[in-house]
Structure 1
Amino acid sequence: MRQPVLSLKGRALRYLSQREHSRFELRRKLSKYAEEGDDVDALLDFLEKNNWLSQERFAESLVNRKAARFGASRVVAELQSHGVSGEALTEIKAGLTDSETERAVEVWRRKFGTVAEDAAARAKQMRFLLQRGFSQRAARIAMQGNPDDEFE
């Protein structure tokens, strides 16, 4: 038996039931299935009006998924690629920057755990953290090891 063809609204609700989507991302996904006469933007407006689609929830969801593994610049870049901008982006960036050093230390500890002895190993650790989107300052502090160990 063939499954019935979903309407555009049905597809949108299926996507949103799986995870939060940005308006930009959902428009891109739905436009593939839009037929002549379908108004994707009107559907997106309807979903936002009923609070089924929310940029704030999407941004919070993405930050919760990515912040533990990536630095502020990488998370902010991903948010921008999904169409998040303005004051919400500024607030998120400030929050991520405040906790970046702690997150960099945790990522470094999970991956390496010990302070590098030679220049090649230090460079490898630095590249790893920078590619994850952490700032140079946060990466340098993380590579020094656990600052709490010195006080025990």
Structure 2
Amino acid sequence: MPEPGANVAQANKLRERALGLLARREHSRVELSRKLEQAGYPVEEIRPLLDAFEDKKWLSDQRFAESYVADHRARAGSVKLAYDLRQRGVSDAIIACVLGDNRDTELERARSVWQKKFGTPPNDAAETARHIRFLQSRGFTPDIIRRVIRQSDDAIS
């Protein structure tokens, strides 16, 4: 039979580990749970701790999503950002809310990413395809990509 103090010590270690992770950066609930499970803490102890953290507003998927988008929006389009957030367990409602605030800057961001990588309009169909593939890999929508490529062509006309 384990000592009564052992459970308290284990709970304190779990709490300290979770707080340490949150002190470094925002985490989604799923992401934090995954990290704690990988560290060997039992799921039945993690769940109530994360519930308490959410009640105290120490853990928030909304705040995580806002932080993640702010950190990554200069390099990625809304499609990639939404995918990355889903992979981290953020709900579609939160994703729509957070990315809805950034829709107006999507074209400017795509232009900036394209300009930084290429700087000059494509010369032929093969090069155009390469530019398109690059912007697709960064998670920009087909409409945004068409507009960036079209505007780059108009710039040399």
Shorter-chain TM-score tier:
0.7 to 0.9
Match of 1:80 among 68, 83, 86: 86
Is residue 23 of structure 1 aligned with residue 29 of structure 2? yes
Q: Distance in 2 between matches of 1:45 and 1:130?
A: 38
Q: Secondary structure at the match of 1:145?
A: helix
Match of 1:145 among 133, 137, 152: 152
Q: Secondary structure at the match of 1:7?
A: helix
List per-residue Cα deviations over 1:3-62 (Å, max 9, x = no partner). xx9801111011111110000000011113345696100110111122211111100111
Letter in 2 for 1:42: P
Match of 1:39 among 41, 45, 58: 45
TM-score, structure 2 length as denominator? 0.82
- Structure 2, unmatched stretches of 5+, are 1-9
List per-residue Cα deviations over 1:92-151 (Å, max 9, x = no partner). 23233332111100100111111111111111001000111101111122123297x79x
- Structure 1, unmatched stretches of 5+, are none
Larger helix percent: 2
Match of 2:68 among 59, 62, 70: 62
TM-score, structure 1 length as denominator? 0.85
Is the alpha carbon distance of 1:37 and 1:125 closer, same or farther for their aligned partners in structure 2, counting shifts above 3 Å?
A: closer
Is the alpha carbon distance of 1:111 and 1:40 closer, same or farther for their aligned partners in structure 2, counting shifts above 3 Å?
A: same
CA contact (8 A) 1:34 1:40 kept: no
Match of 2:138 among 128, 132, 138: 132
Aligned to 1:52: 58
Q: Distance in 2 between matches of 1:108 and 1:86?
A: 28
- Distance apart, 1:81 and its partner CA: 1.3
Is the alpha carbon distance of 1:118 and 1:12 closer, same or farther for their aligned partners in structure 2, counting shifts above 3 Å?
A: same
Aligned to 1:99: 105
Is the alpha carbon distance of 1:36 and 1:66 closer, same or farther for their aligned partners in structure 2, counting shifts above 3 Å?
A: closer
Quote the RMSD (CA, aligned, Å): 2.3
